C-alpha cells in the first residue's frame, strides 16, 4: 500500500481519538452539534413543509447538502495542517458516534426493570425507543430495548465509522445528517408519509452496507455473549430479510441469534400498530439480557473501529496517487 501522507495520518488519528473519546465520555452533555442540526432542520421544515414528495426531497437535499458542504470546507481548510485536521476529525467523530450513550440509555431502563419499577422504566423508554410505552409490560419494554440496541449499533457506531473511513469529514457529517433527518421526518405518519419519503429512502441507502457489516460483525462477536457464530449466521440468513426495514432486520436477527433470543412481534407507535416478524428461535428476552445486548454492541463497535481505521488509512493512501495520476494526465494531454 502506498505510504499515507501527513493529512491522511492526521485523519486516521483523529478518527481513532474520536472513537476513544466516545468510549470514555459518550455524547457531549451540552451544545451537542447533532441537536443544533436538528433544531435548524426543524426550523427549515416549518418553512418548507408541504404534503409532497417533491418538497420533502428538496428539504432533504438542502439539509444533507449543506452539511456535506460544511464537511468539504473543513476538509479543505485543514489540508496540510495535521494538528488542525486531527482535532477537527476527532471532534466530528466524537459528535457523530453514539455507542456509549446508547448503552448508557439502555442501562437506565434496565435498572428500573431489574428493581421491579415498571413505571420508571416506561418513563425512560422514550429516550431510546419511539414506541408507545403506556401498554408495555416488562417483557415488551425489555424486547424494545434489546431491539433498539441491536439496530442502533449500526446507526450510531458502524455506519458513521464506515462513512468516515470511506469519505472522511464530509462522510461523517453527511451520514449523521441523513440519519437524523430519518429520525425526524422519516416515519410513516400522516404528516411525514410523503414529506419524509426522501429522507427515509436516503437513510436506507446510507445504511445498506453498514447494516450488513453489523450482521457479519455480530456473527464474529457471538461467542463473547455465549452465542454460536454458526447459529447466529443461520438466523441472520433466514430472518434478516423478513423485517419490513431493509436494514434493521439484519441487525436484529443477528443479535437474536447471538444472544439466543426471540425478537419481533407487535409494536405500537403513537396509536399505529405494526406486526413484526419473529426473529430467532430462542426464548423471550428478560431484563438481564439488556446488559448482554450492551456487551455485544460494544464488541461489534470495537470490531468496526478495528476495521475502519485501516480502511481509512488505505483510502487516504489512495488519494495522493489519484491526484498525481490526474496531474500527469493533464500534462500529457493537449
Q: Is 319 inside any structural domain?
A: no
Q: Dihedral of CA 93/95/97/101: which sign?
A: positive
Q: How long, in residues, is the chain?
A: 334
Q: Is 243 inside any structural domain?
A: yes
Q: Is 84 inside any structural domain?
A: yes
**Percent of the chain clearing pLDDT 70 (strictly above):** 93
Q: Domain span at residue 282?
A: 6-314
pTM, full prediction: 0.91
The phi, psi pair for 275, rounded to 5°, reads -100, 110
Q: Is 41 inside any structural domain?
A: yes
Name the pLDDT band for 328 (thresholds 50, 70, 90): very low
* Per-residue pLDDT, 161: 98
Q: Is 333 inside any structural domain?
A: no
Q: Quote the CA–CA distance of 236 and 251 in Å, as a whole number.
A: 8
Res 327 pLDDT > 70? no
Q: What is the dihedral of CA 150, 98, 30, 165, to 10 degrees?
A: -160
Q: Is 321 inside any structural domain?
A: no
Name the pLDDT band for 251 (thresholds 50, 70, 90): very high
In this predicted model, what pLDDT tens digit does every residue of 205-245 receive, in sequence order? 999 999 999 999 999 999 999 999 999 999 999 999 999 89
* Per-residue pLDDT, 188: 80
Res 333 pLDDT > 70? no
Name the pLDDT band for 124 (thresholds 50, 70, 90): very high
* Per-residue pLDDT, 293: 98
Q: Is 76 inside any structural domain?
A: yes
In the chain, the number of structural domains is: 1
Q: Is 17 inside any structural domain?
A: yes
Q: Dihedral of CA 249/251/257/259: which sign?
A: negative
In this predicted model, what pLDDT tens digit does every residue of 134-179 receive, in sequence order? 889 999 999 999 999 999 999 999 999 999 999 999 999 999 999 9
Please report the beta strands in the chain, taking only residues with DSSP state E, as ranges in sequence order. 266-269, 272-275
Average pLDDT, the chain: 92
* Per-residue pLDDT, 135: 85
Amino acid at each position: 500500500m502506498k505510504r499515507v501522507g501527513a493529512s491522511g495520518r492526521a485523519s486516521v488519528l483523529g478518527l481513532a481519538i474520536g472513537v476513544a473519546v466516545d468510549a470514555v465520555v459518550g455524547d457531549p452533555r451540552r451544545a451537542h452539534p447533532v441537536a443544533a442540526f436538528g433544531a435548524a432542520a426543524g426550523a427549515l421544515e416549518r418553512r418548507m413543509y408541504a404534503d409532497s414528495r417533491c418538497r420533502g426531497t428538496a428539504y432533504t437535499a438542502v439539509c444533507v447538502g449543506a452539511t456535506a458542504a460544511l464537511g468539504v470546507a473543513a476538509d479543505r481548510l485543514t489540508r496540510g495542517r495535521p494538528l488542525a485536521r486531527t482535532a477537527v476529525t476527532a471532534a466530528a467523530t466524537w459528535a457523530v458516534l453514539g455507542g456509549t450513550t446508547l448503552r448508557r440509555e439502555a442501562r437506565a431502563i434496565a435498572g428500573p426493570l431489574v428493581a421491579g419499577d415498571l413505571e420508571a422504566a416506561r418513563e425512560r423508554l422514550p429516550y431510546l425507543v419511539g414506541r408507545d410505552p403506556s401498554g408495555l409490560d416488562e417483557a415488551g419494554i425489555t424486547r424494545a430495548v434489546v431491539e433498539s440496541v441491536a439496530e442502533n449499533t449500526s446507526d450510531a457506531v458502524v455506519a458513521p465509522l464506515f462513512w468516515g473511513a470511506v469519505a472522511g469529514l464530509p462522510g461523517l457529517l453527511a451520514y449523521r445528517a441523513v440519519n437524523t433527518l430519518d429520525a425526524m421526518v422519516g416515519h410513516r405518519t400522516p404528516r411525514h408519509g410523503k414529506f419524509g419519503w426522501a429522507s427515509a429512502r436516503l437513510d436506507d441507502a446510507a445504511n445498506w452496507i453498514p447494516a450488513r457489516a453489523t450482521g457479519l460483525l455480530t456473527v464474529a462477536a457471538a461467542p463473547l455473549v455465549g452465542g454460536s457464530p454458526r447459529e447466529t449466521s443461520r438466523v441472520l440468513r433466514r430472518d434478516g430479510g423478513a423485517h419490513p426495514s431493509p436494514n434493521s432486520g439484519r441487525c436484529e436477527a443477528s443479535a437474536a441469534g447471538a444472544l439466543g433470543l426471540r425478537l419481533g412481534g407487535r409494536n405500537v407507535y403513537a396509536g399505529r400498530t405494526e406486526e413484526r416478524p419473529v426473529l430467532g428461535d430462542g426464548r423471550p428476552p428478560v431484563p438481564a439480557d439488556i446488559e448482554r445486548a450492551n456487551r455485544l454492541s460494544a464488541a461489534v463497535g470495537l470490531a468496526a473501529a478495528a476495521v475502519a481505521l485501516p480502511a481509512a488509512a488505505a483510502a487516504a493512501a489512495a488519494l495522493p496517487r489519484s491526484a498525481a495520476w490526474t496531474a500527469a494526465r493533464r500534462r500529457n494531454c493537449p
